[in-house]
C-alpha cells in the first residue's frame, strides 16, 4: 500500500466524524457584525479545542480587534503538522464566517441545524467554506493518525471576515503576523467547479457602490410637489445597464468572459404607500476585467448619474463600499497549479485547467503580496443560496486531493 492509499483509507474512515463536525460548525453561526451577527469567536473556540486535542502543532490564535463583535475581536487560527522538510509549508487557507441565511421561507429546514439528505449536508456554511475547512483538517489529521510525515510542513490558516472584506481576516494576518514565505505552496479552496477541473488563478477587479438618490418627499396624490427619488433611482438602475456596452471586451481566461455590472441590495424607503419617497438607496456589484481601469468605469458611472440628475431634478450620492483592483494572476505553470492538477487527476480522474473567474477570492490578498496562490475545490456552487449544501463525497475527495499535494506524489 502506498502512503497515498494509506492516507486515503484513513480519510474514508473519518466520514461520520466529518459529517458530525459539519453539523457542529453549522450550529455555531459565524455572521459578521456588519451583517447582523456576532462574529466567529464561538466557532473558533470549537476549532481550537479540536486542533489541540488532535496533536496539531504550534496552534495559535491571532485576534483582529473589532469593537462591534461581542468578543471584542475576530479570530484567526494557525496550526501545523511538521513534515520531513520544514523549509517550506503547504498551506490550505479556509474561512469560518458565513453569510446570513436570507429568507427562512426558502429553506427546507433550519439553516443553522444541518441535516443530511441523499448524500448531502444542508445548512448555512456547509459548502462555503466548511466543506474544505473540514476537509483540510481531516486531511492533516490523517498524517498524524497514520504516523506518516508529509513532504513539507502542513499549515492550516483558518481565518475570519472573508465574506465582508477580510480586513479582520487574512489581510490582518498578512499585515501583522505573516507566517507565509514566498516559496510556500498556498491553496485557497474558495472557488471551484462541479467536476473539479477549475483551478482559479486570476480574478477581476471589484467595485461595490452605494447609490443614494435624494429628492423631495410629498403626498402621492400631488406628485408635482415632490421629486420622486424612487422613480429616479429606478431609471438610474436601468441606465447603469449601459455599462455592459461601454465595456464590452471579453477575455476567454475568465468565466464569465466579460465584465459584469449588477444592481443588488435595495434598502426600504417610505413605510406607507401614499407617500412619494424623498430618499432611495440601492447598491451595485461590479466585476471588471483587468484590461479596464476601475477609474474609467467610475467616470462612466458619473456621466450616467449626471443625466439622471438633470432629467429628474434629484441629487445622487455615490459611496464606494469596496474597491479592489485585480491582483496579478498566478502563473498557470506555478508549482501549486501543477500539484493540484496531479491531485485532482488522482482523486477525481479529471484534468485540471487553470482559469480566471468573475468573483473575487481571498487569494487576491496573497497575490498582491507576491505569493503564487491557487483556488481549488470540487463544489456544486450553492454558496449564499437557500438550502446551501455540501456533497459529502466532495468533502472526502477534497481531503484526499489536499493529502496528495501534502505528499507531493
Cβ 403 vs Cβ 148: under 8 Å: no
Query: What three-state secondary structure class fits 41?
Result: helix
Instruction: State whether residue 235 is helix, strand or coil.
Output: helix
What phi-psi label fits residue 55: left (phi over 0), alpha (psi between -120 and 50 degrees) or beta? left
Please answer whether residues 187 and 92 qualify as being in contact, where contact means their C-beta atoms are separated by less than 8 angstroms: yes
pLDDT tens, position by position, 322-374: 898 898 999 999 999 999 999 999 999 999 999 998 777 889 899 999 999 99
pLDDT score, position 165: 87
Strands (DSSP E) contained in 177-278 are 185-188, 198-203, 205-214, 218-219, 254-255, 260-266, 275-276
Please list, in sequence order, all residues whose beta carbon lies within 8 angstroms of the beta carbon of residue 233, skipping any fewer than 6 positions away: 211, 213, 280, 281, 282
- The neighbour count for residue 60, using CB atoms within 10 Å, is 13
Residue 297 neighbours by CB distance under 10 Å: 20
The angle that helices 3-13 and 392-407 make with each other, rounded to 10 degrees, is: 150
> Quick one: pLDDT at residue 144?
98
- β-strand partners of 200: 355, 375
Cis peptide before 328 (omega within 30 of 0): no
What confidence category does residue 196 fall into, taking pLDDT thresholds of 50, 70 and 90? very high
B/e letters for 4-29, b = 16+ CB within 10 Å, e = fewer, are bebbbebbeebeeebbebbbbbbebb
Go through 160-171 and write b for each residue having 16 or more CB atoms within 10 A of its CB, e for each that does not: bbbbbbbebbbb
- Give the Cα separation of 324 and 164 in Å (integer): 13
The C-alpha torsion from 200 through 204 and 205 to 208, rounded to 10°, is -90
Do domains 3-203+326-407 and 206-321 share one topology? The answer is no
Read off the C-alpha cell for 34: 456588519
Average pLDDT, the chain: 96
Contact 213, 232 (CB under 8 A): yes
Q: Residue 74 in contact with residue 63, Cβ under 8 Å?
A: yes
What is the percent of the chain with per-residue pLDDT over 90, rounded to a whole number?
A: 93
Predicted pLDDT at 409? 75
Return the bridge partners of 155, or none: 80, 91
The pLDDT value recorded for residue 25 is: 98
Residues forming beta bridges with residue 354, ordered by sequence position: 199
Q: What's the CA gap between 141 and 185, in Å, rounded?
A: 19
**Residue located via cell numbers 496552534:** 59
**Domain segments of the chain: what residues?**
3-203+326-407, 206-321
- Which residues are catalytic, by number? 97, 162
What sign does the CA torsion over 349, 355, 357, 361 have?
A: positive
Grid cell, residue 258, equals 466579460
Secondary structure (DSSP) of 21-34:
HHHHHHTS--B-GG
Which residue, 315, 318, 347, 4, is CA-closest to 150?
4
Per-residue pLDDT reduced to its tens digit, 112-138: 999 999 999 999 999 999 999 999 999
Reply yes or no on domain 3-203+326-407 having CATH 3.40.920.10.
no
Stretch 196-200: mean pLDDT: 96
Q: Which CATH architecture has domain 206-321?
A: 2-Layer Sandwich (3.30)
207-244 b/e (C-beta count within 10 Å ≥ 16 → b): bbbebbbbbebbeeeeeeebbbbbbbbbebeebbeebe
Q: What is the C-alpha end-to-end distance of the chain, expressed in Å?
A: 14
pLDDT in tens, 260-308: 999 999 999 999 999 999 999 999 999 999 999 999 999 999 999 999 9
Predicted local distance difference test score (pLDDT) of residue 324: 84
Amino acid at each position: 500500500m502506498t502512503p497515498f492509499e494509506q492516507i486515503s483509507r484513513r480519510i474514508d474512515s473519518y466520514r461520520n466524524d466529518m459529517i458530525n463536525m459539519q453539523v457542529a460548525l453549522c450550529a455555531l453561526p459565524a455572521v459578521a457584525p456588519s451583517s447582523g451577527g456576532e462574529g466567529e469567536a464561538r466557532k473558533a473556540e470549537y476549532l481550537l479545542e479540536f486542533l489541540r486535542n488532535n496533536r496539531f502543532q504550534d496552534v495559535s490564535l491571532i485576534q483582529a480587534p473589532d469593537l462591534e463583535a461581542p468578543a471584542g475581536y475576530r479570530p484567526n487560527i494557525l496550526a501545523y503538522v511538521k513534515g520531513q522538510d520544514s523549509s517550506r509549508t503547504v498551506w490550505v487557507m479556509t474561512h469560518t464566517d458565513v453569510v446570513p441565511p436570507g429568507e427562512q421561507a426558502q429553506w427546507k429546514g433550519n439553516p443553522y441545524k444541518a441535516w443530511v439528505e441523499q448524500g448531502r449536508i444542508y445548512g448555512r456554511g456547509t459548502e462555503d467554506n466548511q466543506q474544505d475547512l473540514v476537509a483540510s483538517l481531516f486531511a492533516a489529521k490523517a498524517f498524524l493518525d497514520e504516523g506518516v510525515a508529509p513532504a513539507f510542513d502542513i499549515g492550516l490558516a483558518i481565518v475570519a471576515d472573508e465574506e465582508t472584506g477580510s480586513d479582520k481576516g487574512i489581510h490582518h494576518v498578512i499585515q501583522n503576523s505573516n507566517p507565509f514565505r514566498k516559496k510556500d505552496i498556498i491553496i485557497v479552496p474558495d472557488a471551484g467547479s462541479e467536476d473539479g477541473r477549475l483551478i482559479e488563478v486570476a480574478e477581476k477587479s471589484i467595485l461595490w457602490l452605494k447609490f443614494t438618490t435624494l429628492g423631495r418627499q410629498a403626498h402621492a396624490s400631488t406628485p408635482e410637489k415632490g421629486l420622486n427619488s424612487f422613480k429616479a433611482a429606478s431609471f438610474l438602475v436601468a441606465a447603469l445597464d449601459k455599462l455592459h456596452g461601454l465595456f464590452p471586451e471579453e477575455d476567454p481566461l475568465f468565466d464569465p468572459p466579460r465584465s459584469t455590472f449588477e444592481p443588488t441590495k435595495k434598502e426600504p424607503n417610505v413605510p406607507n404607500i401614499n407617500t412619494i419617497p424623498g430618499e432611495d438607496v440601492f447598491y451595485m456589484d461590479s466585476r471588471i476585467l483587468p484590461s479596464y481601469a476601475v477609474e474609467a468605469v467610475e467616470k462612466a458611472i458619473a456621466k450616467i448619474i449626471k443625466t439622471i440628475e438633470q432629467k429628474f431634478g434629484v441629487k445622487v450620492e455615490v459611496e464606494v463600499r469596496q474597491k479592489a483592483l485585480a491582483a496579478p494572476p498566478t502563473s498557470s505553470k506555478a508549482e501549486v497549479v501543477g500539484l493540484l492538477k496531479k491531485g485532482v487527476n488522482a482523486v477525481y480522474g479529471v484534468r485540471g485547467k487553470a482559469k480566471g473567474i468573475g468573483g473575487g477570492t481571498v487569494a487576491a490578498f496573497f497575490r498582491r503580496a507576491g505569493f503564487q496562490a491557487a483556488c481549488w475545490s470540487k463544489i456544486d456552487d450553492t454558496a449564499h443560496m437557500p438550502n446551501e449544501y455540501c456533497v459529502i463525497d466532495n468533502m472526502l475527495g477534497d481531503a484526499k486531493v489536499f493529502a496528495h499535494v501534502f505528499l507531493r506524489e
